Structure 1
Amino acid sequence: MYIKKKKDADPLETPKWVNKNKAGVDVNEVAFINWSSGGSNSISAIVSGSSKLDYTYRNFIWNSSLNTRYGINQQESEPLKKTDDLFEINSSIGYQKSKGSMWYYSSRLNFKTQYANGYSYPDTSNPISKFMAPGYMFFGGGMEYGKDLKRLSLYASPLTFKSTFVLDERLANAGAFGVTPAVYDDEGNVLIPGDKVREELGILITNYYELDVAKNVMLKSTTNLYTDYINSFGNVDVDWEVVMDFKVNNFIKATLGSHLKYDNDVKTLVVIDEEASEYGEGGAKVQWRQILGIGFVVDF
């Protein structure tokens, strides 16, 4: 009598949840006592946290993450300055037609804003950004390619909705971050308030790549390219971040990073009348910041 052996159970047949959390603090400090070359005492810190939740079941995947950072800098008698500020939520769901395929039908949601007011220092009386001013939300669907999506992912969406929120009345009236500015009469009175939401429909291409450069040295690159169909098709918004993590041990790490952005809708604000909080619009510029820090990190 022949009895057919039962195949080994596929681990993906059972729903699987994986949760990873990380918290860290980067601190930099410089102090001088009778230093002949001169210098200013300073201390800066960045507190960061992230939480990832991954779900797999058969040919479905669902990945969600929460990222947050806040950094400050203090130099002797100068006012406390903000150096970093982020609140970001990501969620993506994908369907793999066959388990051997490296292509996924995918849909993504991204939302980001900041916690506190931002200023063009040394002026701390007129915020140039606030919580939900701006706030950004992307939502769309397309195709994603990658053998291991946690280390290499290329996503293309021909239909992605982008919403820009500027919920502060003063910044909205000034037309900050690409929203339609207010209409004024000859005496400077507001006839039509500025829009607080700008909506776009366009193409989004994103790429994520991880590379082990050497032992305990990892390179991470994230690139986002977006262009709007209606308003300025072909004018590409760029958001490119490269981070190198140097792992000393399980609790101490060093980070070196570069973040480059360009958004044609984000114009430079020029102060026309400081007392009346009146701003004019300058041109869009390439934005860039560099990060270097040593700190503690805890995985849980």
Structure 2
Amino acid sequence: MKFKVFLITVLVSVYSINATILNDSLALKKDSISHWKNSNKVRLIFTQNSFVNWSAGGNNSIAGIVKINLLRNYKNNHTTWFNELKSSYGLNKEEERELRKTEDLFEVNSTFGYRENTKSNWYYSAKFNFKTQYTNGYKYPNTDKPISRFFAPAYLFLGVGTEYTKKESNFKLYLSPITNKTTFVFDQRLANEGSFGVKRAVYDTDKNLVSEGENTKIEFGMLATGEWKSEVMKNIQMANKLILYSDYLNNYGNVDVDWEINFDLTINKYVTANVGSHFIFDDDVKRKEDIDNDGTLDILGPKIQVKQLLGVGFLYNF
């Protein structure tokens, strides 16, 4: 009888221990899932025009863009950590014309935030952003001299500030009074020309090189970033992002503007359409034109850069 009682006690104890371990494991797993959210999207967007005996005329063309967006986001009561990798590359081939690049981007974003009060939407934040391109860019049809290359330019933003987030309305506002912006131009010819705001090379009166152009430009200024996402209609998602930056050390008051707005139209789980516009104004990025038609690109003043996209594509989530 005592042995049975002892055996039952041991079994109950073992069951209780196993149940506790299992509950702790499930709780840990649940806690881990609730804190981290991952998203992986690959999108292929393409357009195509074809003409056969078309009286109005036209050139056959085909274009495609591959977009990759990877997210790794962490959030608990006090801490948020947003991580994003964006990459896109597009080509266009038109009849009787060379293959041309239409889009080229590699970008990494990371924002860390901490709040003391769990009821507050304001976080103490630190932000990191890096972007560059993969291949040479040209002022078509001139393909002899690239006007941009890999790491020419590349931009690095690093700053601290505060961020307001409101999950219900998918809205974010980041304000940083102290942000470092570093511009890299690791192509000496472009650096000598003073491209993208770096200090250009110095030549004597006989056009002999005295000192080469600098490969980096360091700025300190203030940064404001706003992001807003909304479902404007059923199956139509809008993403709106505005970035404003002004340098304290050089022409304070001149504001660099980077505004991007996109509409994603969901047709089904795998087929989507995309309509978007991207506007950039950077006082350091000068326009290049061949004014004299001699094959030499003359450096002129800055202008608003505009890019628009309309296409239908395939979306894969994993």
TM-score (norm 2): 0.87
Secondary structure in structure 2 of the residue aligned to 1:283 = coil
- The equivalent position to 1:160 in structure 2, one of 179, 185, 203, is 179
- Identify unmatched segments of 5+ residues in structure 1: 1-8
- For 1:26, the aligned partner's letter is I
**What are the superposed Cα offsets for residues 210-257 of structure 1, whole Å, 9 maximum, x if unpaired?**
011111001110000000001010000000000000000010000000
- Distance in structure 1 (CA, Å) of the matches to 2:95 and 2:308: 22
Q: Does 1:261 align with 2:288?
A: no
1:274 Cα offset (Å): 9.0
Q: Does 1:38 align with 2:57?
A: yes
Q: How does 1:139-150 map to 2 (within 5 A)?
A: 139-148=158-167
- The equivalent position to 2:209 in structure 1, one of 163, 184, 190, is 190
- For 1:52, the aligned partner's letter is L
1:151 Cα offset (Å): 1.6
Q: Is the 8 A contact 1:174 1:280 kept in 2?
A: no
1:16 Cα offset (Å): 2.4
Residue 298 of structure 1 corresponds to 316
CA separation of 1:106 and 1:150: change in aligned 2, threshold 3 A: farther
- Distance in structure 2 (CA, Å) of the matches to 1:199 and 1:149: 38
Q: Is the 8 A contact 2:169 2:230 kept in 1?
A: no
168-177 or 139-148: bigger deviation: 139-148
**What are the superposed Cα offsets for residues 186-220 of structure 1, whole Å, 9 maximum, x if unpaired?**
23221110010000000000000001111100111
CA separation of 1:289 and 1:33: change in aligned 2, threshold 3 A: same
Q: Is the 8 A contact 1:12 1:57 kept in 2?
A: no
- Identify unmatched segments of 5+ residues in structure 2: 1-26
- Distance in structure 2 (CA, Å) of the matches to 1:270 and 1:118: 14
The aligned length equals 291
Q: Does 1:68 align with 2:87?
A: yes
- Structure with a larger share of its residues in helix: 2
Q: Is the 8 A contact 2:137 2:149 kept in 1?
A: yes
Q: Is the 8 A contact 2:154 2:185 kept in 1?
A: yes
Structure with greater Cα Rg: 2
- Structure with a larger share of its residues in strand: 1
Q: How does 1:101-120 map to 2 (within 5 A)?
A: 101-120=120-139
Q: Is the 8 A contact 1:26 1:296 kept in 2?
A: yes
1:14 Cα offset (Å): 8.6
CA separation of 1:213 and 1:110: change in aligned 2, threshold 3 A: same
- The equivalent position to 1:173 in structure 2, one of 182, 192, 208, is 192
- The equivalent position to 2:67 in structure 1, one of 35, 48, 59, is 48
Q: Is the 8 A contact 1:12 1:58 kept in 2?
A: no
- Root-mean-square deviation (CA, aligned residues, Å) is 2.1
- Distance in structure 2 (CA, Å) of the matches to 1:295 and 1:14: 31
Q: Is the 8 A contact 1:143 1:155 kept in 2?
A: yes
TM-score (norm 1): 0.92
Q: How does 1:203-218 map to 2 (within 5 A)?
A: 203-218=222-237
